[in-house]
Copies of this chain bind each other. A is one copy, B any other.
Amino acid sequence: MQKQETLTKNQKIILDLIEKSDQPLKAYSILFDVKKKGINAPLQVYRALNKLVKIGKIHKIESRNAFIACKNSKCQIAKATVFSICESCEDVTEIHDHTLSEHLRDFKDNKGMKYNKYNLEFFGLCKKCI
């Protein structure tokens, strides 16, 4: 697994920003925030984001087109993600549930497909919004 030390300047700038936020950030809001650091174009942001996703430092919340830091610093689960999303306040939390992970990891369909990754998003209302 790649270490943070090997990240490039742009990747570090963008990872720092995402890690400081406890909630997902969108690409163009990231772009706006890093313009003062000399990152000027969408592609510079997307390139860094893609790399960070690939090495498991961040995850993409597919239903929201937004990116959140992975807090799971020990095992770098980049390929098995579970999130809970409040449909009212849009609060997003990454879930690490051992039993659930096992069921998902062990899942086999009847088509002979070979899985290497999954993404699960739960939607509902958080405690504040119920």
Contact = CB atoms under 8 A, between A and B. Distances in A.
Contacts of A111: 84, 93, 126-127
B115 A124 contact: yes
Given A100-B107, A103-B103, A107-B97, A117 B112 contact: no
Interface in A107-130: 107, 109, 111-127, 130
Contacts of A121: 62, 118-120
B115 A130 contact: no
B122 A117 contact: yes
B107 A130 contact: no
Contacts of A27: none
B127 A112 contact: yes
